[in-house]
């Protein structure tokens, strides 16, 4: 049994001899909107409860604010669970997206059908470290046309590109903090 819990059920979706090269979830920045909605709701509920009751509890207001708080917490837990259970699997033959909590939806595209790839990164993507990878087929519409919110998207782009070109998968480049530029800041001298 694989040590990575995400890989336990993946083998049932793979062809014989197909090798998993990489798995990744979407970037956690995807949870930013649900977290902000949850925090905003809790803040609004707290303010409404405080202003309307002004020290004198009103049962109806307290119940509504409690139910709204519980509902929004359930919404956040649902969104986080959907994010946790969805992930991309890149094999030597295909790219798959597995999604679902109770039932699983599998979208896949064979790399042999992909003619071109393009990589994009928004300003927020540069800040938070995610990007999108678009897969294009000549004259065809792919079900899994864009891999969105990919963490370390450059690595995934290089992997997919090397697979499309028939080259051996690239080795991850060693991390050297000395190569990073700090812009106008002077170097640290010890």
Could you give the count of Cα atoms lying within 13 Å of 81 in the half-sphere of its Cβ? 9
- Burial group, residue 145, by CB count within 10 angstroms (0-12, 13-18, 19+): middle
Q: What is the mean pLDDT of residues 26-42?
A: 93
The share of the chain scoring above pLDDT 90, in percent, equals 23
In this predicted model, what pLDDT tens digit does every residue of 119-174 receive, in sequence order? 899 999 999 989 999 888 776 666 778 888 999 888 888 898 888 887 765 554 45
Per-residue pLDDT for 190 more than 50? no
Q: Residue 186 — very low, low, confident or very high, per pLDDT cuts 50/70/90?
A: very low
Q: Which of 89, 80, 108, 69 shows the shortest CA–CA distance to 23?
A: 89
Helices (H), 144-183: 153-164
Q: Give Cα 24 distance to the centre of its chain.
A: 8
Higher-pLDDT residue of 166, 80: 80
- Burial group, residue 160, by CB count within 10 angstroms (0-12, 13-18, 19+): buried
Higher-pLDDT residue of 183, 46: 46
Query: What is the torsion angle, in degrees rounded to the nearest 10, for the CA atoms of residue 116, residue 159, residue 108 and residue 80?
Result: -120
Give me the pLDDT at residue 38, please. Answer: 94
Sheet holding 130-136, edge to edge: 116-120, 130-136, 146-151
Buried b (16+ CB within 10 A) or exposed e, 83-100: beebbbbbbebbbbbbee
For the structural domain made of 5-26+86-169, what CATH number should be given?
2.30.29.30
Q: Which of 148, 147, 149 shows the shortest CA–CA distance to 94?
A: 147
């Amino acid at each position: 049994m694989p040590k990575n819990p995400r890989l336990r059920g993946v083998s049932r979706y793979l062809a014989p001899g197909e090798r998993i090269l990489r798995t990744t979830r979407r970037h956690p920045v995807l949870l930013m909107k649900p977290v902000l909605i949850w925090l905003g709701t809790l803040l609004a509920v707290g303010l409404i409860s405080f202003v309307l009751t002004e020290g004198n509890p009103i049962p109806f207001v307290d119940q509504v604010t409690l139910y709204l708080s519980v509902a929004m917490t359930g919404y956040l837990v649902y969104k986080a669970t959907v994010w946790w259970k969805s992930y991309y699997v890149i094999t030597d033959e295909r790219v798959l997206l597995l999604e679902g909590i109770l039932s699983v939806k599998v979208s896949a595209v064979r790399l042999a059908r992909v003619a071109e790839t393009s990589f994009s990164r928004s300003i927020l993507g540069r800040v938070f470290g995610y990007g999108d990878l678009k897969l294009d087929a000549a004259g065809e519409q792919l079900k899994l046309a864009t891999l969105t919110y990919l963490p370390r998207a450059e690595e995934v782009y290089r992997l997919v590109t090397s697979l499309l070109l028939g080259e051996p998968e690239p080795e991850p480049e060693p991390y050297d903090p000395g190569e990073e530029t700090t812009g106008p800041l002077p170097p640290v001298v010890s």
